[in-house]
Structure 1
Amino acid sequence: MDSLEMSQLAIAGDEEAFLALMQLHKEALLRTAFAFLKDEHSALEALQETTYRAYMKIHTVKNPAYLKTWLIRIMMNYCQDQLKTNKRLVMDGRANEAGTTSNFEQLELAEALASLNEKEQQLIYLKYFQDIKIKDIAALEKVPEGTIKSRLHKTLRTLRRHFEGKGEMDHV
């Protein structure tokens, strides 16, 4: 059974299909949570909350093809709510708490992303960190593809200016 069939069954109320979908998208959801929350425990808690919220609202999904994008959006919204509650910045520029080394370029990127507003950060994250297509982002946001393209162009131009101002990387 492919992902689309599982999505259709889950939307129709099949609990086993829902669990299989959550297992299928678990890694992407955890990566998303960790990117925002920077903490493994918080990321696992976010996955649990996202699973609960998705289970309660899966019947509202209109297009099964966008289920993964819908799940990631739930995760991002939850993480942003947590960050607001904890009064932490989305990208605070600290070294990675997982024990891996963080180099100067990663810190520069985190700083540049932190300079963007919330919608711009989400757009960059969906497009470049989760590799979601522009048409899928447009469907998720309920706006035309051209609007997403122009927002992306504007956001990339802002990031370019940020890096040019730092004397670092002249391309993004």
Structure 2
Amino acid sequence: MDKKRLAAAAAKGDEEAFLQLMKCERQQMLRIAFAYLRNETDALEAIQETVCRAWHKRRALREPQYMSTWLIRILINVCSDELKRRKRSKAMSEYVDGGAYIAADETAHSDERLDVAKALAFLEKPYRDVILLKYYEDMTITDIARVMERPDGTVRTWLNKALMQLRKQMGKLGGRERQNG
């Protein structure tokens, strides 16, 4: 059965179709959750919460063909909620400005990846979301607009601004490295 039929059946309450659809979407959801939370355990918990929320709200989905984008939107909200919770409950020393948790032993395979992660943490939320969806998930502008419930033009503007801010931030981080190195 194709994804559209699975989504339509799942929206009507077919548990088996819903489970099959979740299996199809699991890898993408894991990548997105990991990009936000930087921890596999937390990412898996976010996916579990997303699946629960999606199951309970499945009948509210107006257009089942957009179930994938709907799931991503829910997942982003779950991840954002977790980041807010972390920010409230943990010492600020464990965080990079902007609330994105970065643990060197979990994500750092190179200094460059750490610099990009740190620079991303400085971006405002919509800009960070656009970058993650575009470059980590290879989504089109149209798909991102659908997920974020914004016009294509807004997403293009956010992407442009995000890239400019990232370049500026990477320059600052690079400057510090050269001064310290």
Length-normalised TM-score, structure 1: 0.86
Kept after mapping to 2: 8 A contact 1:36/1:79: yes
Unpaired stretches in structure 2, ≥5 consecutive residues: 176-181
* Among 145, 151, 160, the residue aligned to 2:152: 145
What are the residue-to-residue correspondences of 1:59-78 with 2, within 5 Å? 59-78=59-78
1:94 is matched with: 103
Question: What is the Cα deviation at residue 10 of structure 1?
Answer: 1.0
2:7 is matched with: 7
Unpaired stretches in structure 1, ≥5 consecutive residues: none
Kept after mapping to 2: 8 A contact 1:92/1:111: no
2:162 and 2:108 map into 1 onto residues whose CA distance is 28
1:140 and 1:31 map into 2 onto residues whose CA distance is 16
Deviates further, 155-164 or 21-30: 155-164
1:34 is matched with: 34
Q: Which has the higher helix share?
A: 2
Question: What is the Cα deviation at residue 167 of structure 1?
Answer: 4.4
2:154 and 2:138 map into 1 onto residues whose CA distance is 18
Which structure would you say has the larger RCO, counting Cα contacts within 8 Å and 6 or more residues apart? 2
CA 1:45/1:143 → structure 2, altered by over 3 Å: closer, same or farther?
closer
Deviates further, 118-127 or 62-71: 62-71
CA 1:152/1:2 → structure 2, altered by over 3 Å: closer, same or farther?
same
* Among 158, 163, 169, the residue aligned to 1:156: 163
* Among 116, 124, 138, the residue aligned to 1:109: 116
RMSD, matched Cα: 2.0
Kept after mapping to 2: 8 A contact 1:126/1:132: yes
